[in-house]
Amino acid sequence: MSELLNRRLSLLGQGDNLSLLKQCLHGIERECLRVTEEGRLAQTPHPEALGAALTHEQITTDYSESLLEFITPALADPAQTLQSLENIHRFAYTKLGSEYLWSPSMPCPLPAEEDIPIAWYGDSNIGQLKYVYRKGLALRYGRTMQCIAGIHYNFSLPEKLWPLLRDAEGSSADERDYQSAAYIALIRNFRRYSWLLMYLFGASPALDAGFLRGRAHQLEQFDAETLYLPYATSLRMSDLGYQSNAQAGLTPCYNDLNSYTDSLRKAVATPYAPYVEIGTHKDGEWVQLNTNILQIENEYYSNIRPKRVTYSGERPIQALMARGIQYVEVRCLDINPFLPTGIDLPEARFLDAFLLFCALDDSPLLGYLECGNCTGNFLSVVKEGRRPGLMLQRHGKPVALKEWADELLERIAPLAELLDRSQGSDEHTKALDLQKAKVSDPSLTPSAQVLASMTEHKEGFSRFALRQSQAHAEFFRAQALPADEQQRFETAARESLEAQAKLEREEDKADFDLFVSAYQASILAISN
């Protein structure tokens, strides 16, 4: 254990400090495709009974009209966060008719590119902006890639913890800068160790063969309709997933917040020649918001993001620069197709211990060589993480995945114990033990279990996924929400529809071109 981590554990284990750890906040966003009874992409509009995707706080759409996104509030107890997620699923199933929620991350058999519906948010300027942004994503990356779904885990440490650490360590930084620097340090350690999450929780070793649209690949044939890799953990997070030549040179520096925001600010203001050649309009219609490397900040795809809740009309970079980092969003988690909500409490408990370890342990700046090792280790694990004897790179030297994973879990154990002490339970230690078992026996990992289930039932990816989707639908439909909770969702849906209608009715009907120009100018005006 590092000296810094030892000191911090000792400090947080004292008296009133221990109770601070009960104030960590946890939020979950779960994406999932709507599919037909046959397991094909639903071509129906976003169900009006679920509310307006533009204005509903908990039920919206991601890229496609068929790609739902469920959002929980940030709560201190992850068990309550997961209950909130389950309640959203139960409500959704009362409005889906014969449709299902697709159980895994990789999509169902998809129609032709042009037949994948882009999410629609109405006629307001902001609604149109969201639609044009998605048209730009289709133009840049293709619609197929945008149908991949995942779990996003939002995590924050209590605000009172940071001044406690700062004062104990004699830092001269103000509270905002110290907190931001600490979250950036967490992100650096996450970059170092996130390969472990892909081994433990990756659940996408196979996909529908049509997903690749005839592209060259190095996958193996499982059956006529399924491609896979025998030792893969997460093809979703591999180079088969969300890729961009334009973003290839964009690796934001995680050495401080200013360098991170500056790299993104430049990317949303720097033209990219192939996009310039296309332009923003075709036949008089908008096809992308601008011709820059990124249309907006959120187009940058990363495994983890520093975040700050934004004010109305404020852009993410503006919020980070003005008020610093408030929480992190972990974006690399696959949906576990064996779990009705795609994630369970033991996974959340382990994530808390893992992220607390990343936050409190030593986190040296990332040099060029180590950055390359981080990327290489991650890609090795997502494509062959269960391969016996797999070697990773640590400090420029080879190390066995199993050896390093065992070491990391031992280093995380004191954090799990500290969280258990703060809550008077042993749940985090039990969650850690489950992960130790997966390192000892790769057949216990979700990725191995997916392939084992497909083999046992003699079925390809899509039939496996539909079977799981049907089982989850039965689970949610078997028990209705309490009447007051159902009514709360009904009210939220109705109010969101009213809010969108009010926005469209009362909005200053400014020219959309001017609206986009003002939106673009808001980022160009920022200077460090």
* 116/138 Cα distance (integer angstroms): 10
Q: How many residues does the chain have?
A: 528
* 163/188 Cα distance (integer angstroms): 21
Closest among 281, 303, 305, 302 to 291, alpha carbons compared: 281
Residue 335: DSSP 8-state: P
pLDDT at position 428 over 70: yes
- Residue-by-residue DSSP string for 387-454: STT-EEEETTEEEEHHHHHHHHHHHHHHHHHHHHHHHTS-HHHHHHHHHHHHHH-GGGSHHHHHHHHH
pLDDT at position 281 over 70: yes
Predicted local distance difference test score (pLDDT) of residue 527:
46
Give 153's strand partners.
28, 330
Find the mean pLDDT for residues 123-144.
95
One-letter amino acid for residue 485 of the chain: E
Domains with residue ranges and CATH for the chain:
3-524 (3.30.590.20)
Residue 27: DSSP 8-state: E
48-71, pLDDT tens digit by residue?
999 999 999 999 999 999 999 999
Predicted local distance difference test score (pLDDT) of residue 528:
41
pLDDT at position 242 over 70: no
pLDDT at position 248 over 80: no
Find the mean pLDDT for residues 241-252.
68
Confidence of residue 243 (pLDDT cuts 50, 70, 90): low
pLDDT at position 283 over 90: yes
pLDDT at position 244 over 70: no
Whether this prediction's pTM lies above 0.85 is answered by yes
Predicted local distance difference test score (pLDDT) of residue 241:
67
368-416, pLDDT tens digit by residue?
889 889 999 999 999 999 999 999 999 989 999 999 999 999 999 999 9
Largest pairwise CA distance in the chain: 68
154-181, pLDDT tens digit by residue?
999 999 999 999 999 999 999 999 999 9
318-329, pLDDT tens digit by residue?
999 999 999 999
Residue 67, helix vs strand vs coil? strand
* 488/506 Cα distance (integer angstroms): 26
* 59/52 Cα distance (integer angstroms): 8
**Residue 328 phi, psi dihedral angles, 5° rounding:** -115, 150
**Residue 28 phi, psi dihedral angles, 5° rounding:** -130, 135
pLDDT at position 109 over 50: yes
Residue 326, helix vs strand vs coil? coil
- CB-CB neighbours of 343 under 10 Å: 23
Dihedral of alpha carbons 212, 213, 214, 220, sign: positive
Q: Cα–Cα distances in Å, from 254 out to 192, 210, 259, 318, 357?
A: 12, 37, 7, 18, 17
